Amino acid sequence: IRAGLFLYDNLAKRDKLKGSCGVRFLPQDGLSAGINKGFEYSDAWVDDARLVVLNAMMARDKGADVQTRTRCIKAVRGSKHWTLTLEREGGEQFTVTCRGLVNAAGPWVKTFYDESLHEKSPRGIRLIKGSHMIVPRIHEREEAYILQNEDNRIVFVIPYQQDYSLIGTTDVEHHGSPREAKISEAEITYLCKVVNAHFTRQIAPKDVIWTYAGVRPLCDDESDSPQAVTRDYTLELSGESDGAPLLSVFGGKLTTYRKLAQAACNKLKPWFSQMGDDWTATSRLPGGEFDCSVRELARAFALEFDWLDDRSALRIAEAYGAHARLWLKEDRGIHLGGGLYESEVRYLIEREWACSLDDILWRRSKLGLRLNESEQQMLQIWLDQYHQALRKAS
């Protein structure tokens, strides 16, 4: 491990993250007896749901027409353009035309060929489910832990939303709709067992507050085990001789999404002569227009808006960055629980496409961990009234 971390330190450009070092664990660190030595290295962390939203916002800022809750039910290729039939959540259909089509449907990339194009997919995919669970915080240190399990997998224990620990992930073959992916009792038992082998504070399935699961759409390389399937991506391009281009993305992972996106754009350059030079490597996502640390930004929010407590200021800084000022300076409105005010909900609806209770509490934020049942009901009533007022106004 030390040799690997030496390479990690010296092969990667290191502007902001500290280098690795050895650490000695003390009894108060909460690890099981006999675990007294380890290594520490620096890495980045991300809220995946917010990363998706911020990329959509950035695309909109650059002129994209973002249609959420809309699926493509039919795609017909012409000599110079595609004609797409799109369907909104309520059943309304409409058509659009475009000069090129990118099939970046993730776990539905092959389904798009089968159901919308009615063509044979050039590649197969395997859906590998990764599940996570959240429990009350099991250690007080601010670092995340990487636990090495006897099955040669690793499990992360990450400080989460200040009061909790995020534990995951698993690697299980998934069959059926990606929408139906959820953690199994066997996975919960597995994660509890790994944690209990490393920490003095023991956990059980009854301690689990919330779970979530997703599927990784990996290229089918006929590997024997889910863990062995390649995490690399493949770009399949067609259209050089038979009309408008179709670019399909098979596989890939979150940490290299910008590199993948730039490679995809470069593949399409022959059809888009006005395409400029590469630019995404140094571009900041919406809200990233600050140069201090997130904690320093949170302290600035708490000083600027005296009604903000320190915990809420940190949550807001982590989620929105500098964009939080767009709604912090507005009239707060009523308090809906957990530090959530009307002004934040309005911002999420008007700027981040939030529609439902789950959008707000679990996708745009993780405040579902903090709002009790009556507060969630109050928020649902507020949303119903908001949407009703919009319908009347239109």
Residue 378 has pLDDT above 80, yes or no: yes
Q: How many Cα atoms are found within 13 Å in the side-chain-facing hemisphere of 89?
A: 5
Asked if pLDDT for residue 356 goes beyond 80, the answer is yes
Round to whole Å and give the CA distance between 343 and 329: 9
Average pLDDT over residues 46-68: 95
**pLDDT at site 236:** 94
| pLDDT band at residue 11 using 50, 70 and 90 as cut-offs | confident
Q: Above 90 in pLDDT, residue 8?
A: no
pLDDT at 224 over 80: no
Q: Give per-residue pLDDT as tens, 340-354.
A: 999 999 999 999 999
Q: What is the mean pLDDT of the chain?
A: 92
Q: Is the pLDDT of residue 309 over 60?
A: yes
Q: Residue 228 pLDDT more than 60? A: no
pLDDT of residue 191: 97
Classify residue 9 as exposed, middle or buried by CB count within 10 Å of its CB (0-12, 13-18, 19+). middle
Is the pLDDT confidence value at 104 over 90? Answer: yes
CA–CA distance, 227 with 169 (Å, rounded to integer) = 12
Note the pLDDT of residue 221: 67
Measured in degrees and rounded to the nearest 5, phi and psi for residue 260 equal -60, -45
| Whole-number Å distance between alpha carbons of 268 and 263 | 9
Please give the average per-residue pLDDT across 263-267, as a whole number. Answer: 94
Q: How far apart are CA 159 and CA 200, in angstroms?
A: 16
DSSP 188: H
Tell me the pLDDT band of 17, cut-offs 50, 70 and 90. confident
Considering only residues 58 and 241, tell me which one the structure prediction assigns the higher pLDDT: 58
Q: How far apart are CA 378 and CA 373, in angstroms?
A: 9
Residue with tokens 């699961």: 213
Phi, psi of 218 (to 5 degrees): -100, 145
Q: Give the model's pLDDT for residue 24.
A: 94
With bands split at pLDDT 50, 70 and 90, how would you rate the model's confidence at 230? low
For residue 383, what pLDDT band results from cuts at 50, 70 and 90?
A: very high
Residue 75 burial (CB count, 10 A)? 21
Instruction: List, for residues 144-187, the tens digit of each pLDDT value.
Output: 999 999 888 999 999 999 999 999 999 999 999 999 999 999 99
Output the pLDDT for position 1.
87
pLDDT single digits (tens) 33-44? 889 999 999 988
| pLDDT band of 88, cuts 50, 70, 90 | very high
**For the chain, what percent of residues have pLDDT higher than 70?**
96
Query: In this structure, which amino acid lies at residue 362?
Result: W
d(CA 297, CA 68): 31
pLDDT at 305: 96
- Answer whether the bond into residue 68 is a cis peptide, omega within 30°: no
